Structure 1
């Protein structure tokens, strides 16, 4: 999952125009005449309108049946709202969804699956079963319209992956993928989306008018809930402009298995793209969560001073700078060069090199190795090899400190608990420290001769 903030201006809609004008779509139009029905998957209320509203309206003009599977009720669209809670927002968005669908296609059926907003990753079978049932009962060819799985939102990715996996191998189903948030975060000059293979649906004036009317029905999204901070519009005029063009754009879906089981580490290109969009990476300096987590990490170090420290995946060097106050020599590595430029300014007393784990391993011995928020971006095989590399480079009196986020991350290969469990399984000795809370898990794994703080100070024998 890419990282974006809908409150940021994002890509100017006009910046997309030269790219779109220069395209020669592989299919200029979607021939709906060959289908018996259209089935749309919408992770949240308004996704069906933003991404495929013109197609649904076009289907109405051709008397083609449409069903929209609404995965969640979108109750978390305003998590910081001081005026409207999730339950009230869910009710409001239910009403808006049905009004919007009636504007697009008066005969369309809207079915709510009731998955908690943001939690489709934990409940993929709800969507899978619903799709299996619809496709199994279909009496003709079905056009399945789903979110593009690279769109940048967790629910969008999982919805796309599940739908594509269900459709795989079915000769009576064709799949189109629509972008929603990619218009906002992607760069037309170096796009991540597959614009080399687009499909375009030219919208009639009636279809575009219906789409505008449908989007206007989502007052909770297109207008502020109140003047209070946290109640800002989600889909303001700038966002809406991406979706109210005279052409609706789609991507074809490759006939390949769902990528849900991941076997490759996260790529350098994906990190480079992240830092190109957000040069500061994550909010390491401003976030209390990040500042507190660093304090917990430093407090967990069993020695006051270290000879040589290695931080793997140092990003912009915020934690590295803190480690320089506890070690004589500090080396930070990261897979991307962009954050290392900031790290060198932030921690001039440390040394930094670009390195991809586990192949690009630095030379030397270390009595402190820090593996923070990077283990779950490694494939199981690469994580095992990284553990072996650490064991081979760690002094007998050294420690490995591993700290990882426990919530879902769409770009992750595994998760924090899996990484921590694998480290504990492969490490020769039990952890000296294991701190677990809802948000992160931190473990300190000792070298062969590392002792507890009390034993090292002679307080116990």
Structure 2
């Protein structure tokens, strides 16, 4: 994730103006849209990122609904004058006032997720957005923060929105930047301007956006003269958002899984792949993974994406037969030396699926390299080859990965959505998420041992 300080001056708005004049873009079209749904992680995000779109849609008679994820109570963590409880109430009132300025007929749902806590509660937004889209008859534009915006809640909101839209027929996604204007550099932008979309704002719409932003004095003006009460969106910040054009990023074309060539190049640079042996994070994660297995012993284990076989070697101590697969050939040479009791085969998921039945399948740090369609097909492959008393163990890194197609949280959520039974184990911490998904005949350890009534 990008690290930035909102108190710093950040990129000069004039630098962006010069850059934006060079951007080739397509216009945002609202003439065939049945509804606009805006995802706002915090009160004022809807105004900063999409206030012009909300007002323009309202003028065109397009229904608008805003999903406000948090109350924004964490905006001033060091304030000596205003508590988070005060801010919660203040910002709720400001949000209602701003939305009434932008689109008096617009509706809103406040989800009440703790500010800064969307990563721990993504399913709240997922369920609300899924329900909202299911109730609309006709094409919908979902507007959500750009996933690369640099704020954790913005990233998770964007990821959840992208995942829901990918499974909702007739929906399209537009992503808006908020903090990227502040930290990104027009000379070498990180944002995907090759897929930019623009919306020209009439003078009346721009005036409404400006008035809506003024409805957030808790953010645009200091709470008090004391340190910790500074404005979050000062005039310099606001200038990024009060342009006569609003900017969005369209969803990229259908994503592909990470290629075999990219993994080959990785292992050519780093033959051991990642620091599986030396890293305490890796060693501890393996210990947590093995401890989560509900059976002491397995008949036949399949490890997807085994890399250099470090976890595979430990699985051979828990299973009668172990097969490891990886997309690249180079790590398998090391894996065969490290885990001589296991078998290994080079295979690309999900098309090159190994023959066999398994009572243990391990998917560790591989799911987020798969496209959404390949991930779904892989889940189907696992379900089709897993014995009734078997389990799938999935463990994934939760921080950004430049080579990943999705994220660990998205993979875990998709597995939970597609799996016929609830997870037997779900371990979530800041760095990784681990879930154990049971087959139809799996019962708890205590039940298996006759310890329960």
TM bin (shorter chain): 0.5 to 0.7
Residue 377 of structure 1 contacts residue 411 of structure 1 at CA under 8 Å; is this kept in 2?
no
Question: SS where residue 33 of structure 1 aligns?
Answer: coil
Question: Does the C-alpha gap of structure 1 residues 138 and 439 become closer, same or farther in structure 2, counting only changes over 3 Å?
Answer: closer
Residue 273 of structure 2 contacts residue 308 of structure 2 at CA under 8 Å; is this kept in 1?
no
Partner of 1:2: 2
Partner of 2:50: 52
Partner of 1:251: 249
Question: SS where residue 196 of structure 1 aligns?
Answer: helix
Shift of 1:411: 2.7
Cα RMSD for the two superposed structures: 3.8
Residue 168 of structure 1 contacts residue 255 of structure 1 at CA under 8 Å; is this kept in 2?
no
Question: Does the C-alpha gap of structure 1 residues 72 and 128 become closer, same or farther in structure 2, counting only changes over 3 Å?
Answer: same
Partner of 2:34: 36
Question: SS where residue 248 of structure 2 aligns?
Answer: strand
Residue 54 of structure 1 contacts residue 248 of structure 1 at CA under 8 Å; is this kept in 2?
yes
Comparing 168-177 with 220-229, which one deviates more in the overlay?
Answer: 168-177
- Cα distance in 2 for partners of 1:196, 1:113 equals 33
Residue 20 in structure 1 maps to residue 13 in structure 2:
no
Residue 164 of structure 1 contacts residue 258 of structure 1 at CA under 8 Å; is this kept in 2?
no
Question: SS where residue 88 of structure 2 aligns?
Answer: helix
- Cα distance in 1 for partners of 2:284, 2:146 equals 24
Q: Deviations over 1:326-360 (max 9, x none)?
A: xxxxxxxxx9xxxxxxxxxxxxxxxxxxx868449
Partner of 1:291: none
Residue 358 of structure 1 contacts residue 385 of structure 1 at CA under 8 Å; is this kept in 2?
no
Write out the 4+ residue segments of structure 1 that deviate beyond 6 Å after TM superposition. 372-380, 386-389, 412-415
Residue 148 of structure 2 contacts residue 191 of structure 2 at CA under 8 Å; is this kept in 1?
yes
Q: Deviations over 1:70-96 (max 9, x none)?
A: 001111111111111111101100000
- Cα distance in 1 for partners of 2:195, 2:285 equals 29
Question: SS where residue 31 of structure 2 aligns?
Answer: helix
Residue 38 of structure 1 contacts residue 66 of structure 1 at CA under 8 Å; is this kept in 2?
yes
Partner of 1:165: 163
- Cα distance in 2 for partners of 1:360, 1:15 equals 39
Residue 42 of structure 1 contacts residue 146 of structure 1 at CA under 8 Å; is this kept in 2?
yes
- Cα distance in 2 for partners of 1:201, 1:376 equals 49
Shift of 1:174: 1.5
Question: SS where residue 186 of structure 2 aligns?
Answer: coil
- Cα distance in 2 for partners of 1:221, 1:119 equals 20
Residue 398 of structure 2 contacts residue 430 of structure 2 at CA under 8 Å; is this kept in 1?
no
- Cα distance in 2 for partners of 1:75, 1:45 equals 9
Residue 205 in structure 1 maps to residue 208 in structure 2:
no
Question: SS where residue 224 of structure 2 aligns?
Answer: coil
Residue 63 in structure 1 maps to residue 61 in structure 2:
yes
Question: Does the C-alpha gap of structure 1 residues 172 and 370 become closer, same or farther in structure 2, counting only changes over 3 Å?
Answer: closer
Partner of 1:154: 152
Partner of 1:448: none
Residue 306 of structure 2 contacts residue 312 of structure 2 at CA under 8 Å; is this kept in 1?
no
Partner of 2:113: 115
Question: SS where residue 166 of structure 1 aligns?
Answer: helix
Question: Does the C-alpha gap of structure 1 residues 225 and 384 become closer, same or farther in structure 2, counting only changes over 3 Å?
Answer: farther
Question: SS where residue 32 of structure 1 aligns?
Answer: coil
Partner of 2:191: 193
Q: Which residue of 131, 137, 140 maps to 1:139?
A: 137
Partner of 2:400: 411
Shift of 1:371: 4.4
- Scaled by the length of structure 1, the TM-score of the pair is 0.59
Question: Does the C-alpha gap of structure 1 residues 358 and 34 become closer, same or farther in structure 2, counting only changes over 3 Å?
Answer: same
- Scaled by the length of structure 2, the TM-score of the pair is 0.60
Residue 11 of structure 1 contacts residue 186 of structure 1 at CA under 8 Å; is this kept in 2?
yes
The runs of 5 or more residues in structure 2 that have no matched partner are: 287-303, 314-333, 338-396, 402-406, 410-428, 432-453
The runs of 5 or more residues in structure 1 that have no matched partner are: 268-334, 336-354, 362-368, 393-407, 416-437, 441-461
- Cα distance in 1 for partners of 2:85, 2:256 equals 33
- Cα distance in 1 for partners of 2:308, 2:68 equals 37
